[in-house]
Structure 1
């Protein structure tokens, strides 16, 4: 059972106190968060950073805390679908190489949601990808990649639910054959470097 409020337990061992403190700091920062009873799993609402292709979207992000926290980085997974080279579309897992390189035991959960994830969304890296099709589209055309990100975001991650047809048509200038939802979800194999004839189809899948 998930609880939205936690009470600091000063009888916890040192590692447990650190986790307890960090969870409470995240809650105090205003993030909509649900936490399980032993603080091993959290679901946190993340808004897309201003100025990025993800601006306006809201994602639920699951954080699994390792026993070795804070020496070991948490496992981060996007529950809400997102189109991003460094995030696997089906599982929502964030590339651990990216997180491990940035992680330090001095960081906490607030750093993840105020710094790490916003930077990841602002600066996708197609050269260290989990979603190879998204990476291929970004290498082929950053403008087209942004348009596909917005289409996927409006389909899955908008705070207000609108009819899919309205979302697809709203503000997109590409022809429907380039940006239709059926194309976006087609399971074809594009050239990973974005050189194929179908490079305009930005599949969410990572294979």
Structure 2
């Protein structure tokens, strides 16, 4: 990240943004960052013990020019069924987040605390996704079942099929064979 130009209103906020992105990367979050650090895509795993456990979502983060004084904009790129996340746009209900945001928070707080808490404690009484909220209010079990169904449809990690593994092993063996043939002493005739 050397020589990154940060598009912010002050040098102080540019240093802060750079530090916060580096902390997020150091915390082990798989992250794709644009050149000026204002747009990120971060991989978020569902918290253990929740209906979201086992899922992996890509979350888009847009940093405002006023960061860290203003909260980043958070959007799920991977579809998720949650009362406080719009199913079509992925926007997260930010009322509580924006009110609670403080310049002392950083991106690690967003991904280690805020989003996991949102997934652990959906609020059907302040919904962005009215359908999910309605299901949740009617039956917790039905809501968990629907979340599981959507998780399997959209948020499971991509695992190579056995066929792909066999093909890869064959390819490796054939390249090893070719390499061993090239290195054989039989060519000294």
Band the TM-score falls in, shorter-chain normalisation: 0.7 to 0.9
Q: Deviations over 1:159-179 (max 9, x none)?
A: 03699xxxxxxxxxxxxxxxx
Q: How much does 1:88 deviate?
A: 0.2
Structure 1's 161 and 131: CA in aligned 2 closer, same or farther, altered over 3 A? farther
Match of 2:114 in 1: 116
Is the contact made by 2:4 and 2:35 (CA closer than 8 Å) also made in structure 1? no
Is the contact made by 1:10 and 1:17 (CA closer than 8 Å) also made in structure 2? no
Q: Deviations over 1:61-116 (max 9, x none)?
A: 00000000011000000000000000000000000103113311100000000000
Structure 1's 157 and 104: CA in aligned 2 closer, same or farther, altered over 3 A? same
**Comparing both structures, which one devotes a greater share of its residues to helix?**
2
Q: Secondary structure at the match of 2:146?
A: helix
Match of 1:7 in 2: 2
Work out the CA distance in 2 between the residues paired with 1:162 and 1:32: 19
Is the contact made by 2:64 and 2:72 (CA closer than 8 Å) also made in structure 1? yes
TM superposition score normalised by structure 1: 0.73
Match of 1:25 in 2: 23
Superposition RMSD in Å: 2.0
Structure 1's 10 and 41: CA in aligned 2 closer, same or farther, altered over 3 A? closer
Match of 1:98 among 85, 96, 99: 96
Gaps of 5+ in 2: 162-189
TM superposition score normalised by structure 2: 0.79
Q: How much does 1:30 deviate?
A: 0.6
Q: Does 1:73 align with 2:68?
A: no
Q: Which structure's CA Rg is the greater one? A: 2
Q: How much does 1:153 deviate?
A: 0.5
Work out the CA distance in 1 between the residues paired with 2:20 and 2:142: 39
Match of 2:172 in 1: none
Match of 2:105 in 1: 107
How many residues are aligned here?
158
List aligned pairs for 1:1-207, cutoff 5 A.
6-7=1-2, 13-160=11-158
Runs of 4+ in 1 over 4 A off after TM superposition: 8-12
